[in-house]
Amino acid sequence: MYKRLKSYAVVLLSAMMFSQSLANGTYAASTGVSDAAVFIFDKLGSIALKSNVNVKLIDMDILEQPSGNILIYTLSYSNGSSNSVAHVDYFSRVTTNGGSVIQGKPITREVTKKIIPPNSSQIVTYYVNIGKSTRLNGTKVTLFTWDFSSQDYQKKLGVFTIPASYSAVVPQGQSKEITMENLLVNIRAESLQRLKMNGKIYMRVGVSFTNLGKKVLSDTAYKAYLKSAGGSVFDLKLENVSGSFNVQSQEKKTVYYLTEVPSYMKTEQMILQFAQEDETLKIMLPVKSFKLPAVTTSDLAVANYAVKKISIKNNTVEMQLKSASVYSENDSAKWNLEFRLKNLGNKAITLPAYELTVKAAEGFSIPVDSKALENVTLKPLEEKIINLNADVPLELNQGKLQLQWTEPSVDDKVIFPTAQFNIPYSLENNNLMGQEYTVQNRYGKFMVKLVSYQRLPWDDTDQIVTNISIRNTGLTSVQLPSLKAIVKAGMSDQSSSAQIVTTNTQTSLAPNEATEIYVIAKVPYTYSFNQLKIVLQATSGDEVTKFLSMNTSSLNNVIHTIAVGETHQMNSLSKKAKVSERRTTTYNENSSNLIYTELEMINEEPRQSKQAQLVAYYKTPDNQFFKAVVSQSITPTSPNGKNLVTIWSKLPQGVSTSDLMLYIGEGIADGKLTDLGGTSTGFINSVKLALTPNTVIPHNNLTSVDLFPYNLSVANAAGTITEEKGTLDVVVNYSLSEKEDFEAGHYEHKLVLELIDPYGQSMEKTLELGADLPMGKNKSYLASFNSNFHKILRGGSIRINLYDEFQGHRMLLGGQSYPLTYISAEPKNSNSNGSSGN
């Protein structure tokens, strides 16, 4: 029979080991023999060896081998006498249906049985090599004893003849109880499948083992064979690479064996044979044979979303393809596959280094990166979610793909797939704005939603800002991992510019608690796209795993408008504030205009806190954006304290300032809100403020000049020209006050004092409020201007104009005329550089 094994080059797929011993010396003795076999052996009766000593034939089997087929038979001796009985006094011979007579010998394990004790029973198994004979029916077992009075010194005691109806094969659907490793085990042939892989045909035999003992059944030494109706025999090897399996006490486990067979071989009436090697005799001994069920054809593929149970180091592990989705990019179908793995065993296991391959109906095999499976360990009852990605050419049929999990190849073995999953065709979800979606990963179960999407300018590019909410729907707190983002805008990968921003330091979520994160990326401002994909990846050392994925075409750039006179509420953690426009005006110049806005920001935190660093742009009705400079206080603000935020930008001449909108947002840098005074790399939570630009009408007097937060009131002023001195001196009497309920950044406004003499000539002094003009009431300021007017002027009046100068641009605040006096006597002492008095 083994000639056929060599001819077909049977593929050894794994090793099966059965126990080295059988209980009580019974070789393949059973208590669950088929009813027909029990009846046949009982009908054969017993043979008396002598008074109160008899023997029965209780089993017979055969195993075909190249060196001659081995027949075993088991005799049960019963000694009812009060004396021991020696085996040496008796022997047996087998007569085949071909007429050959061979004396039986005990198998190695039985040779130590020399006597049958008084009042006891004993079972002994014998073997004979019957050459090429294969039939058991008609076989005879004859018992002899020594008789030195006869011619041949032996006496025939009786004969057992196997009837034509006898079969050693356990009928289909019936089980057999066999003692293995001193454990009673119920064995049953469950299934027979015909499989095709890589152009070859394999037979897959399913056998159930029910451990009826009280210990774990493991490391057995039986070998399994598949025998065809035509007599061909093939080695069967365990489907799993480890070559062993464990069966817990009282557990029933189905184990699968594989072998390669010729494609033309008939598969009806096939037999499963178990055998055990007698190492001393160097022969294989039959254990038991089972008739297999009718063959079925299977492609091994696991049905959509079904659970597949596999064995890893004798631990049962559940595998399930929980979800699959695909989208197209260039010439590839981008597949995302989410698997659930759960260890049902009682020991921790580490996943083998599986090789993953996508199988296409056209016969192509596409390798899949299995890095996500590296060194994955599952504790008992632990469940993990594994995300895999595959790129499949678009020209292949995406609706008939399968994913194979295969253990690493072993020399001289063809490894059958551990699992093969149908990949259900499902286009990637289009996540709608504001709608929650379920996400499950190794960290927990979450509901996620797209809160908002904004596209706004950033320098010479655009920034896209996506706000994502993550809510913990599990029953326990979840520690959020460190995250990084992959961002694809349309077909363009913008991940290199991506950053994730959180507005708080929260790293864990209690049940039903939510947090929000912002994903920011830069795109060319000319780039148009209608699809956005964001993948958040969890990072831990060198390990990178998928946390969640969002894909949306809901790219409405919604920027909330704050109407004139309304207040914008800022709600970032620890930075809650109300923001409103205080005033907007324009500084006009010949070359350019300067748009200037003051915002009032009120701290709504119950504690002193640093407010958000703002970022701002001015937008014209024809969608031109002008980046603005923002100045604000860098010191913490008290509860209900006010901040004055100044914002400005230079605009080309011809740009109308009447319909400008001010876009403001909270600056971000390094994954968080920008520290006050820091440099922002983007901004979030943007809104647009409708502005009310006001034109400053110059006052015709200087009794109340507004330079918020300062107010200047000029009580009077007088100019003097001293004979032969060459200067024009002006004394200004004033009061200067400041609204102190505002925090503000550096005050960049300057006060320009312009003096126009009676001849219309202009002279200027630039003054810094609070320094050149000290704060207080009834102050005086002396300014001296070089002049040779003393030679021609003898009196008249001067005009003083006050200007607000900001970033080189001026705005006339008001003007007033004051008297000019000529002093011909000795000149008074005066400070030509200007000074303050009182």
Domain 35-161 CATH assignment equals 2.130.10.30: no
Query: What is the pLDDT at residue 787?
Result: 65
Supply the pLDDT for residue 409: 75
Rounded CA-CA distance 787/783 in Å is: 13
Count of CB atoms situated within 10 Å of the CB of 279: 10
| Average per-residue pLDDT for the chain | 87
Distance CA 773, CA 767 (A): 7
Burial (0-12, 13-18, 19+ Cβ within 10 Å), 474: middle
Name 523's Cβ contacts closer than 8 Å, sequence gap at least 6. Answer: 455, 461, 462, 463, 464, 489, 492, 494, 529
Contact indicator for 422, 359 with CB cutoff of 8 Å = no
Distance CA 284, CA 111 (A): 17
CB hemisphere CA count around 579 (13 angstroms): 29
**What are the phi and psi torsion angles at 373 (to 5°)?**
-95, -5
Whether pLDDT at 394 is above 60: yes
* Res 631: pLDDT: 93
**For residue range 577-611, what is the model confidence (pLDDT) as tens digits?**
999 999 999 998 877 899 999 999 999 999 999 89
Question: Cis bond leading into 709, ω under 30°?
Answer: yes
Q: How far is CA 804 from the centre of its chain?
A: 59
Higher pLDDT, 806 or 180: 806
Please determine, for residue 791, whether its predicted confidence score (pLDDT) is greater than 80. Answer: no
Q: What is the mean pLDDT of residues 692-717?
A: 92
Q: Which CATH architecture has domain 705-837?
A: Sandwich (2.60)
Is pLDDT larger for residue 541 or for residue 649? 649
CATH code for residues 301-423 = 2.60.40.1240
Mean pLDDT of 792-815: 88
Q: Could you tell me the pLDDT band of residue 429, with boundaries at 50, 70 and 90?
A: confident
Instruction: Take residue 299 and report the two structure tokens written for it.
Output: 């492609």
Q: What is the pTM of this model?
A: 0.66
pLDDT mean over 142-153:
92
Two tokens at 39? 């009846």
Q: What pLDDT was estimated at residue 31? A: 36
Q: Which CATH class is domain 2-18+171-297?
A: mainly beta
Query: How many other C-beta atoms can be found within 10 angstroms of the C-beta atom of residue 380?
Result: 12
**Which tokens belong to 218?**
């493991």
19 against 68, higher pLDDT: 68
Q: Of 147-151, 455-459, 773-777, which range is least confident?
A: 147-151
Closest by alpha carbon to 419, among 487, 364, 359?
A: 359
Contact status, residue 477 vs residue 468, Cβ threshold 8 Å: no
Q: Report CA torsion sign: 699, 704, 710, 716.
A: positive
Beta strands in 223-314 (DSSP E): 223-227, 233-238, 246-247, 252-261, 271-278, 283-291, 296-297, 301-302, 307-312
Q: What is the 8-class DSSP label of residue 618?
A: E
Q: Are 113 and 106 in contact (CB under 8 A)?
A: yes
Work out whether the CA dihedral 21, 24, 26, 29 comes out positive or negative: negative
pLDDT band at 415 (very low <50, low <70, confident <90, very high): confident
Percent of the chain with pLDDT over 90: 63
Nearest to 639 by CA among 599, 676, 604: 604
Instruction: Give the C-alpha separation, 392 to 399, whole Å.
Output: 12
DSSP 753-779: EEEE-TT--EEEEEE-BTTTB-SEEEE
Would 35-161 and 301-423 be classified into the same CATH topology?
yes
pLDDT value of position 1 = 40
Give the pLDDT confidence score for residue 469 in this predicted structure. 95
Q: How would residue 742 be classed by pLDDT, with cut points 50, 70 and 90?
A: confident
pLDDT at 834: 44
The dihedral of CA 829, 833, 834, 838: what is its sign? negative
Q: Is the pLDDT of residue 823 over 80?
A: no
Domain boundaries, the chain: 2-18+171-297, 35-161, 301-423, 437-552, 560-694, 705-837
- The 3-class SS string of 166-224 reads CCCEECCCCEEEEEECCEEEEEEEEEEEEEEECCEEEEEEEEEEEECCCCCEECECCEE
The reported pLDDT for the residue numbered 241 is: 66
Residues 6+ apart with CB under 8 A from 263: 200, 201
Residue 152 predicted with pLDDT over 80 = yes
Name the nearest CA neighbour of 103 among 74, 141, 65, 50: 141
Mean pLDDT calculated for residue range 91-104: 94
pLDDT of residue 18: 31
> Using 50, 70 and 90 to split pLDDT, how confident is the model at 40?
confident
CATH number of 560-694: 2.60.40.1240
Cα–Cα distance measured from residue 444 to residue 489, given in angstroms and rounded to the nearest whole number: 28
Mean pLDDT, range 256-284, rounded to an integer: 92
Instruction: Tell me phi and psi for residue 521, to 5 degrees.
Output: -145, 160
Q: What is the pLDDT of residues 489-534, one digit of tens each?
A: 998 999 999 999 998 878 899 999 999 999 999 999 999 999 999 9
In this structure, of 17-31, 178-192, 328-342, the range with the lowest mean pLDDT score is 17-31
CA dist., res. 131 & res. 141, Å (int): 16
Q: pLDDT value at position 33?
A: 43
Residues 6+ apart with CB under 8 A from 508: 477, 478, 479, 480
Half-sphere exposure of 538 (CA within 13 A, CB side): 17
Range of weakest confidence among 175-184, 217-226, 395-404, 823-832: 823-832
pLDDT the model gives residue 23: 31
Of 14 and 679, the structure prediction assigns the larger pLDDT to 679
35 has pLDDT over 50: no
pLDDT at 41: 85
Residue that is written with structure tokens 């055969």 in the block? 62
From CA 442, how far away is CA 647, in angstroms rounded? 47
How would CATH label the architecture of 437-552? Answer: Sandwich (2.60)
Output the pLDDT for position 30.
38
Q: Which residues, in sequence order, are bridge partners of residue 86?
A: 115
Model confidence at 19, in pLDDT bands (50, 70, 90)?
very low
Phi (first) and psi of residue 145, to 5 degrees:
-135, 165
